Structure formats: C-alpha cells, structure tokens
Amino acid sequence: MMNSSRGFAALLALQLCVPAVVYLLVDAWNGSIAGIKYFLPNCLYMAAPLLLVSLLAIWPRARSAALIWALSLLNAVLVVFQFWVLWFVPARESGLAWVLYIPVWGLVLLACAVAWVACWYFGPVRKSIP
C-alpha cells in the first residue's frame, strides 16, 4: 500500500492529466485551436485505459505502486502513439490511425494483468491459487 492516501491521490490525478496535456500540446504544435471544441471527447478517448485502471483505486488493496506503474506505462504508450501518428501517418489518415489505439492499450492492459498475476502468485511469497 502507498505511504499516504493523499500522495496516492495526487499521483493518480497527475497521471490522469497527461492525456489532456498531450492533446493541448499537439493542438498547439499544429498551430490551430480549432480542435478545442473536440477537447472533451478526444481526451476521454485517450484517457479510456487510464480511467479503467484508475477504477482499481476504489479497492484499497489495489492502491499500490504497481497501479501507478501501470498508469505510467499507459501514458508512455499514449505519448509514443501520438508521436507515431504525428510523424509517420499522413495527415488525412490520422483520424483512422487512432482506431488502432484501442487494441494497443488493450494489449498493454493484458500484459499488465498477466504480470500482476504472475507477481502475485509466483512472487517472493508464494500464494495458493483458489
């Protein structure tokens, strides 16, 4: 468990702000503020995996460093995916490229879940599988 509930909440809030910052930075980099009207739906789309993982914070036993690491990994995937869309995808097809974001974060969440189960059951203190 994290040292303080307040510190964990602050880290969680910081992690959840990353999609909004990424969206605003890309909008500023493109030189247009026309995308501001799509701010909320785009941020919710980008933050969907983070919101799913942050739901685990409701369960007190899940409030651990592993949850923050999973959120950090998902944020890194978001930033790398955004760079890929900006640099390697033609502008007219960038909207279509974001369809691939769902399977990418799905695979990352699956890998995090497998790693968590492996550490939980086969870690330093072996637990019995119910």
Question: What whole-number distance in Å separates Cα of residue 40 and Cα of residue 20?
Answer: 9
Q: Centre a 10 Å sphere on the Cβ of residue 75 and count the other Cβ atoms it contains.
A: 22
Torsion sign (Cα): 45, 105, 121, 69: negative
pLDDT at 1 over 50: no
Question: What whole-number distance in Å separates Cα of residue 78 and Cα of residue 82?
Answer: 6
What does the pLDDT read at residue 64? 77
Residue 129 located in a structural domain? no
Taking the model in full, what pTM does it have?
Answer: 0.81
Residue 127 located in a structural domain? no
Question: What whole-number distance in Å separates Cα of residue 28 and Cα of residue 25?
Answer: 5
DSSP state letter for 31: T
pLDDT digits (tens, 9 = 90+) for 50-87: 999 988 888 877 777 788 889 999 999 999 999 999 99
Overall domain count for the chain: 1
Enclosing domain of residue 40: 5-122
